[in-house]
Amino acid sequence: MEYIILFIILYLIELGYFRIAEIFNIVDKPNQRSSHNSITLRGGGIVFYFGALAYFFYSGFEYPWFFWGLTFMTLVSFLDDILSLSNKVRLIVHFVSVFLMIYQLDVFTLPWYFLLFTFIVVVGVINAYNFMDGINGISASYSLAVGGLLVIANNKIGFIDQKLILYSMIAVLVFAIFNFRMKAKTFAGDVGAVSIAYILLFCLGSLIIKTGNFIYILFLTVYGLDAVWTILRRLRLGENIFEPHRSHLYQYLYNEAGYNKLVISFSYGIFQLLIGLLVIYFSSYSLSYQIIFSLLILTFTSVIYLVLKNYIIKRYALKTR
């Protein structure tokens, strides 16, 4: 009953946001870089923040530094959605938010390489999540997959309050109702992509610190490989990696190859879920086995990714973007 009530409340909040977005014209207009062809409400992913906010009050203000960081990150991302803030402002707020997350995780008491690793991963994944949010359903599908893996691992290890994950996933389900469809009612926007990435990274960081096992970073394999290989290809072609583009695999699959966008989004999520289940299985093995498994899964996944992407590029005679 608790989760049903939360779902209804978040659903109503989402509907309320749509009304605000319509009044203030918070919309995504299609352009040459877009994978949609109609004006769509932007920022529906703000419901992720309210899912975390509900947990924050329910828990008696658990994880306060994390929540403040999430609040700052969400606020600046929402303002950027509607006002297009300068890069300096966004970077400063992102830096403060990541600092607050790291402080909540108590990383500063660990060896320096934990701090460096955490900062690089958090900043990188948040940006990757934002870049990957380009077609209907992909953020919802992928977030549910990662969230599901965290729930499974948490049942076994107990690294964080389970309700934080569950409340967040209920918010994702609410968003999916309006986004996981052929003609989306809303897109997550920067506010959605950034906030859900921040939440999942906090949970994932808690898991890695509790176990001291970095293998769990493979819970982000699919997004990670797509982001990294896309960046490397664009660098090789001499492109500005900070400019908007349509060079990710999911974009080629939909824009050029014409595959169903929801099938693509679902495939990203289910593929990550399968990899994550293998990660959980091998996490109980010795370090040497884990290293071998990690190298094999990264190599295997990269080969599939590169072969498929190169095939689509050649098959449809795509021009470099």
Is the distance from CB of 21 to CB of 62 less than 8 angstroms? Answer: no
For residues 177-188, give the mean pLDDT.
95
Domain ranges of the chain: 2-315
- Does this model's pTM top 0.85? My answer is yes
Starting at the edge strand found earlier in the chain, the sheet holding 40-42 runs: 27-28, 40-42, 186-187
For residue 6 the two structure tokens come to 């939360």
Whole-number pLDDT of residue 309: 95
For residues 247-251, give the mean pLDDT.
93
Whole-number pLDDT of residue 320: 44
Residue 218: strand, helix, or coil: helix
Whole-number pLDDT of residue 203: 98
pLDDT above 70 for 126: yes
- Helix residue ranges, H only, the chain: 2-23, 47-58, 64-83, 87-104, 112-132, 138-157, 162-179, 189-211, 221-236, 249-251, 261-282, 287-315
Per-residue pLDDT tens over the stretch 296-306:
999 999 999 99
Per-residue pLDDT tens over the stretch 183-241:
999 999 999 999 999 999 999 999 999 999 999 999 999 999 999 999 999 999 999 88
pLDDT above 80 for 35: no
> What band does 321 get if pLDDT is binned at 50, 70 and 90?
very low
Whole-number pLDDT of residue 31: 53
